[in-house]
Structure 1
């Protein structure tokens, strides 16, 4: 796809979503003085999602001032986009206003999964957003530490939440719905299990540990067991908002915007995606801060290339590690191959905890650096083999994915 460079009047770019990917994209776009950037986000503060388990436990606010992380030329609109009108290039806001755009960055992020689990909406507490964390914290604070708290989810979010609460002396059961730490190799998984045991976390795993219902004072498992639970915390995976699908854009089966390898929508060359809500070539990267801070600037570079009359480059994203905190004094820093598969190397204990905290602080620093010096952020962990995997998938398969997702 090629679009002529727009130089006569300022180019209007609307970025939907003020998370890691959206902020990175917005900041990088300010490299050009003839580009006006509007960032739409439902909250007035930047949320550090990788600290939400700390917000629940009260060990961190998980917030940062947008004044710290956004370039001063980015206009922040605190609102939600209800629909994208690609034909007229407008984004409708909840307050009734419509923002016109020349290009749009779709970076709406991800949300909690499990909406179809009976009783979850009434009796469970998901923690995929700041609002959900704020809803849960006073409930925890109002209960004695001896009450049964069940955390559902065997991935990093579940493990981190269980450990954070157990470190405060709470009676925590972690229900895995399968295997503990499924993305970890044996050594890393064993380290996590040891630390959870030291904190007193009861781990319920295995094929029968899938939660089939959440009740007011218990959770029911697939194998028929009923576990007492005064407070059930839901951290079992992520879904994505349905804005793209509601707007008539092609998505994958999960709802992520379907794009080519330049992050450009298969439907419209003026819509570019980044972060958890993007499915380049129908082969999305793991939903994570690590991929978001790489996809955000690359989405911006796709737009900047078109404005300059150049063909945009294909994405080049790689992974380094998966870091899982285990309270404030321990963590597992699991090394990864660039394609996100684990190496048999990890760093644990207090050293792992220091690395984890450095990473959490470093993500905000990366956003701030890109805001002050747009174009400064670089990424060196590139997965060169992705192009071969995409080529193996083939353009025809990508078109088929687009058609079947409508």
Structure 2
């Protein structure tokens, strides 16, 4: 490392990147730069609310980033490992001593399904949510809407739209696969109460401007088709010659350090520690962001970084503004039988959303204040679903 003040570049200003940048301030003499393509923090867990206009899903970085953190509104296009330099879309470059790779995830739109790219409205990024919101303003409230995908994003979006009075059909091969049967039944019951037409056990064969064709041949009318089936990650790591998993997540050891480069540390949705990536969620992103910072701080101090430690407790789903389902979890993120439903779960979900922003702001004011449930996630995951894991 150079003898100058250590330079840390954080790529990505989401839950993991912001937490990591703020926690790095526990070291009083670091040069910290956060690179993000947008000038504001996006609350991705509220994007479904943005589509119906009951939340703007953004926060100003002014009080989300601690003093001394430099925000660069730009997008990284290349990581030059040999020179320890990041090239940006604007043509500018940033030199680093350590790089935190927290670029997050994005929606995966399948090219194999005709019409999706042209007529589908994905919902995993801020600009996509804005585009969907604009489209919904163009069509009458009585116009049919089809939501494709029965994961958490699809379910929350379908419920939010139905609560506004829109006729909504939710199409999925399987509803909420991450939940236990009890939690799944709770979600299905509430969706039907809101008027959502559930079509399960099918996939989509084709999308056009006015309908969705299903795999068994049925056609469903659709003025707006929302596509929430699947997530991907930006291709920056692979394009820069770094080892990734099949989805493109950066392969790391259990300290979140790249298997190719000890000066690159990953966090959040774009990290695959020990070949066992965690669920793409802010519940995993924020602890990973904090622990990525700990790895950097240890290396700057000449110490050996500790392996990551975290455990899961619950997975909360909003079903409109009045209802919700909270699935209780084992520490490895697998579902327990127990769940909390109804208005109580809705209140818990709103509390979690608000507390998440509060925790990031508090970390900005007092680095080290954020805490999370710790545990041996790897052992628990392997015990629940044994599989070969590459050596770190």
Tell me whether the two structures share a fold, i.e. TM-score over 0.5. Answer: yes
Deviations 1:286-312 (A, max 9, x none): 000100010001000001001111100
Instruction: Tell me the residue number matched to 1:204.
Output: 199
Contact 1:329-1:349 within 8 A present in 2 as well: yes
TM-score by length of 1: 0.93
Tell me which of 131, 146, 153 is aligned to 1:157.
Answer: 153
Instruction: Tell me the residue number matched to 1:118.
Output: 114
Tell me which of 116, 127, 146 is aligned to 2:142.
Answer: 146
2:262 maps to 1:266 = no
Instruction: Tell me the residue number matched to 1:173.
Output: 169
Contact 2:120-2:224 within 8 A present in 1 as well: yes
- Indicate the larger mover: 371-380 or 302-311: 371-380
Instruction: Tell me the residue number matched to 1:128.
Output: 124
- Indicate the larger mover: 217-226 or 86-95: 217-226
Contact 2:332-2:381 within 8 A present in 1 as well: no
2:26 match: secondary structure: coil
2:303 maps to 1:285 = no
Instruction: Tell me the residue number matched to 1:47.
Output: 42
Contact 2:109-2:117 within 8 A present in 1 as well: no
Structure 1 residues 385, 84: CA separation in 2 closer, same or farther (over 3 Å shift)?
closer
**Whole-Å separation in 2 of the counterparts to 1:375 and 1:8:** 26
Tell me which of 78, 85, 108 is aligned to 2:103.
Answer: 108
Q: Which structure 2 residues correspond to residues 6-405 of structure 1 after superposition, within 5 A?
A: 8-116=3-111, 117-176=113-172, 178-206=173-201, 209-383=202-376, 386=379, 389=382, 397-398=390-391
Deviations 1:25-77 (A, max 9, x none): 00011111221110000000000000000000111010011112111211000
**Whole-Å separation in 2 of the counterparts to 1:171 and 1:381:** 43
TM-score by length of 2: 0.96
**Whole-Å separation in 2 of the counterparts to 1:214 and 1:265:** 39
**Whole-Å separation in 1 of the counterparts to 2:24 and 2:388:** 31
Contact 1:257-1:278 within 8 A present in 2 as well: yes
**Whole-Å separation in 2 of the counterparts to 1:34 and 1:157:** 40
Contact 1:261-1:314 within 8 A present in 2 as well: yes
Structure 1 residues 388, 122: CA separation in 2 closer, same or farther (over 3 Å shift)?
closer
- Indicate the larger mover: 315-324 or 102-111: 315-324
Contact 1:102-1:270 within 8 A present in 2 as well: yes
Contact 1:9-1:34 within 8 A present in 2 as well: no
Q: CA deviation at 1:114?
A: 2.2
Structure 1 residues 384, 109: CA separation in 2 closer, same or farther (over 3 Å shift)?
closer
Q: Which runs of 5+ in 2 are unaligned?
A: none
Q: CA deviation at 1:385?
A: 5.1
Q: CA deviation at 1:118?
A: 2.0
1:64 match: secondary structure: strand
Contact 1:320-1:381 within 8 A present in 2 as well: no
Q: CA deviation at 1:284?
A: 0.3
**Whole-Å separation in 2 of the counterparts to 1:109 and 1:274:** 8
1:160 match: secondary structure: helix
Q: What is the count of residue pairs matched by the alignment? A: 389
Q: Which runs of 5+ in 1 are unaligned?
A: 1-5, 400-406
Q: CA deviation at 1:384?
A: 5.2
Deviations 1:205-245 (A, max 9, x none): 01xx1112221111122222221111000111210010001
**Whole-Å separation in 1 of the counterparts to 2:338 and 2:203:** 29
**Whole-Å separation in 2 of the counterparts to 1:180 and 1:251:** 29
**Whole-Å separation in 1 of the counterparts to 2:380 and 2:217:** 45
Deviations 1:366-391 (A, max 9, x none): 1111111111212124235538849x
Contact 1:84-1:247 within 8 A present in 2 as well: yes
Contact 2:312-2:373 within 8 A present in 1 as well: no
Structure 1 residues 202, 48: CA separation in 2 closer, same or farther (over 3 Å shift)?
same
**Whole-Å separation in 1 of the counterparts to 2:378 and 2:152:** 26
**Whole-Å separation in 2 of the counterparts to 1:243 and 1:155:** 26
